[in-house]
Structure 1
């Protein structure tokens, strides 16, 4: 499996959102950045409040209100540190809409999600954390953070980048450096955390730049998909 196939596997988990309401309005547009199918089913005026049902592989996964959905419409998504602490309905929301591929992510959105993943790994304080930078300048900007993470936690941190022969510059950074080609792993912006032995803390972000300033990617807390990414990185 490759990082490209991680995206493909996530895409194969494509979900269908069915909007039940008297009128379709602009609901479909709110999912433009997500790789999901959106359908509309009319309900009579005076009936229940508009709601959504979510299908995966044609099978019913759950139903949620529009109010509860708002958290998920636009990235970045703030995922709870421990889903077991959530109420049952909010836990169901994360399970229903996790792993959805985003067809259009900006650098700002990816940065915000990356900061969340770094924070989750830091708070866990153990386990393997793999991070891919698309440029040496991007890693230079983050190197002080990774020096501190390595010094203050038991994380086994692996950094992937086209170092252009500059690995000696980071000899004081207690992380494992992996020089990679921009034509291979270096094409991707990724963070993959093995959860420190806890499946509930695993997460991964894999994104590929397809047009200037715009990325196609997925972030997931699904342990099996995270394990696939970890296997690719070795």
Structure 2
């Protein structure tokens, strides 16, 4: 086992424990000597891990720890790179696309040299095939979802007719041909799905809708195996 892999495993062991675990127990699980364990604990603490404890008493990793670069395995790095490149290449939301590029740059900037080179040289590429462009700022929809706020939208149906809807948005689906926002529609008194490229205007009302997003999502998943037409 490489030292990087061993440190990753040690971090994971500490994350899985809510109470202090002794050094000998950790060393036995990792198959290393107690002296090696103490050095690894010191290395992780030097990387910023908030590990508290003393030899003989036990160690615990405090919550809220910002993980150091060595948190990622090679496969995890490739998954992050692929996901970020997909969003950057195929999102019709400029802000989301830009954020994906910035996030990837931040990740690669702090990686150890070998993992950084692996990330930059990965052969996992994403074709640039963006969906139909949105006529509104899609970031406002994502903001409304985060804040659990109502939206009033003007929506153009497949027949070209426009209607005004007040919706409680809770999810955006990313498909090859379109982006779709799911929400409770006050006009239909039911869950409906709206292609974002057919929303011609929207207003963020600033007031919370009366149900929690997580509750609606669970209910929607239960009753909407086939999405109804908006």
Please give the range of the TM-score, normalised by the shorter of the 2 chains.
under 0.3
Question: Higher strand fraction: Structure 1 or Structure 2?
Answer: 1
- TM-score w.r.t. structure 2 length? 0.23
- TM-score w.r.t. structure 1 length? 0.22
The higher relative CO (CA closer than 8 Å, separation ≥ 6) is in: 1
Question: Higher helix fraction: Structure 1 or Structure 2?
Answer: 2
